[in-house]
Structure 1
Amino acid sequence: MEKINKIGHRGAKAHLAENTLESIEKAISLGVNMIEIDVHRCATGELFVIHDFTLDRTTNGSGEVAKKSSAEMQSFLIEERFKIPTLHEVLDLIENKCQINIELKGRNTAEAVSEIIQYKVEKEQWEYSNFLVSSFQKNELFEVKKINSSIPLAVLSKASVPEAIELGKKLDAVAIHPSVGIITRDNTKLCQDHGFKINVWTVNEVNDIVRMIDFGVDGIISDYPDRLQNPVKLSQN
């Protein structure tokens, strides 16, 4: 399993509340190589780590993230006990422990994320290879490429791997991130033949994890990082 990139989805989503510092810390303790998180930009410009465009599903707040100030975002709680972290707080937590996949969820996130990554590289001796920026929003990805072409990019897809490859070529992306529902042995090879790494999401069932390994994918994004450690043994139990 060492050659497979073990990626914790929103931290360790199956174990602790998604996109929280506690969930990310849990994923690191379970041996991930990379953490996948989502970012939105609030009304005052700060980047917060939260999946949805609204607060309603995951917090005790309500309304759109983009319309809340930083102070308001910091006042809301997840499951009545966890805070919504900023991207800065997440980076401070994971420093030198694993890589990070930042998914640009909200609009106008590309510039702020690019600035933070550049700061980390220039001022805090991070490597660009510590980062991977992904999105379903191709405009945000093209904006990152325009701002700083050194930042590694990944194309998310839940519809068509060949279309993702074509977009990846235009972006000079390094990876394709297809959903487990569209991945096959053939399109895994197609991605790799075109020079892309292939990281599949969200793979939770042990049999699916084993199947992805058999397909030869480069990375697996899972809510259960613990299942990525020795899935073949788990499947035999």
Structure 2
Amino acid sequence: MKNLPLKIGHRGAKGHVAENTLESIKKALELGVDAIEIDVHLSTTGELVVFHDFTLERLTTDAGEIAMKSLKELKELRINGQFEIPTLLEVLDLIDKKCMLNIELKGLRTAFETCKSIQLYTETKGWNFDGFLVSSFNHEELKTVFNINKNIPLAVLTESDLDMAKNFAQTINAKAIHPVHHLLNKKSVRQLQKLGFEVNTWTVNDIETIQRIKTYGVDGIFSDFPDRL
């Protein structure tokens, strides 16, 4: 059994290598994470690509919405002038069951293809459903996953309202709630855990805050620097 809290690499190991790249994910694996969190968007050609922002300008020399680009167009870009934008399938092949994968449904209409990918890897690549966690702020995307495949573990993200997250999580039989760390204290964590939810909090980077959050008894911590956990 894993020691708690779980060490969750945020967008790979974002503090060490450019976020959501295969190189960042390799670094997180080298650091011995229990799980890796990534974000997905749907390209115009139907592939899920791993990228956080809805637009391209922060990380590439291109502009515009990522969801308006084909996979071929996205593969020609470089994050920070250096790294390729990976697909979800490339990330799955790289991780290859070495740790759990938290897929955050960032873009619209990402639920169906995510379910399809998870089904493929559980049926043909030896993954188990408990090797995945699908999270989102978007309740409609999470509902879609729940309606397609109730075997896929779900997590509700929140940065403002624990009660709303809890109430919605109960309607989709979510495994976990993922609150921003400043919403939590020992009491709120215990209350959520008593209801049967795991509590994984984000994004905790400095040593002092990490130590304080650990005293709350959370189940997992997302960090850009998973080696600090």
TM-score class, shorter-chain normalisation, is over 0.9
Q: Is the 1:76–1:83 contact (alpha carbons within 8 Å) kept by the matching residues of 2? A: yes
Q: Secondary structure at the match of 2:183?
A: coil
Give the AA of the match of 2:69: K
Shift of 1:162: 1.7
Q: Hey, what's the Cα distance between the residues in 2 that align with 1:10 and 1:205?
A: 17
1:23 is aligned to 24
Q: Which residue of 1 aligns with 2:38?
A: 37
Counterpart position of 2:212: 211
Q: Which residue of 2 aligns with 1:77?
A: 78
Partners of 1:130 and 1:162 lie apart in 2 by 27
Q: Which residue of 2 aligns with 1:233?
A: none
Match of 2:100 in 1: 99
* Structure 1 contact 34–101 (Cα < 8 Å) conserved: yes
Letter in 1 for 2:76: S
* Structure 2 residue 180 is matched with structure 1 residue 179: yes
Supply the distance in 1 between the matched residues of 2:65 and 2:27 (Cα, whole angstroms): 28
Q: Does the 8 Å contact 1:61/1:77 carry over to 2?
A: no
Counterpart of 1:6 in 2: which secondary structure? strand
- Distance (Å, rounded) in 2 between the aligned partners of 1:156 and 1:136: 5
Q: State the 4+ residue runs in structure 1 displaced beyond 4 angstroms.
A: none
Listed as ranges, the matches of 1:50-69 within 5 Å are 50-69=51-70
Q: Deviations over 1:76-108 (max 9, x none)?
A: 001111000000000000012111000000000
Query: Which structure 2 residues correspond to residues 1-237 of structure 1 after superposition, within 5 A?
Result: 2-228=3-229
Question: TM-score normalised to the size of structure 1?
Answer: 0.95
1:65-84 CA-to-partner distances (Å, cap 9, x unmatched) read 11101100100001111000
Measure the CA separation in 2 of the matches of 1:77 and 1:3: 36
Q: What is the TM-score when the length of structure 2 is the normalising length? A: 0.98
Quote how far apart the aligned CAs of 1:3 are.
Answer: 2.0
Counterparts of 1:5 and 1:207 in 2: how far apart (Å)?
Answer: 18
Q: CA deviation at 1:35?
A: 0.2
Shift of 1:212: 1.2
- Residue 124 of structure 1 and its aligned partner are, at CA, apart by 1.4
* Distance (whole Å) between structure 2 residues aligned to residue 215 and residue 134 of structure 1: 22
Aligned length: 228
Deviations 1:122-159 (A, max 9, x none): 11121000000000000000000011010000000001
The 2-side partners of 1:141 and 1:168 are apart by 9
After superposition, give the CA deviation of every residue in 1:142-193 in whole Å (9 maximum; x if it has no partner). Answer: 0000110100000000011121111110010000000012111111011101
Mapped to 2, the partners of 1:221 and 1:13 lie a distance apart of: 11
Equivalents in 1 of 2:37, 2:148: separation in Å?
22
- How far apart, CA to CA, are the structure 1 residues paired with 2:147 and 2:125? 23
Instruction: Provide the rounded CA distance (Å) in 1 between the counterparts of 2:194 and 2:41.
Output: 33
Q: How well do the aligned residues superpose, as a CA RMSD in angstroms? A: 0.9
1:60: how far off?
2.0
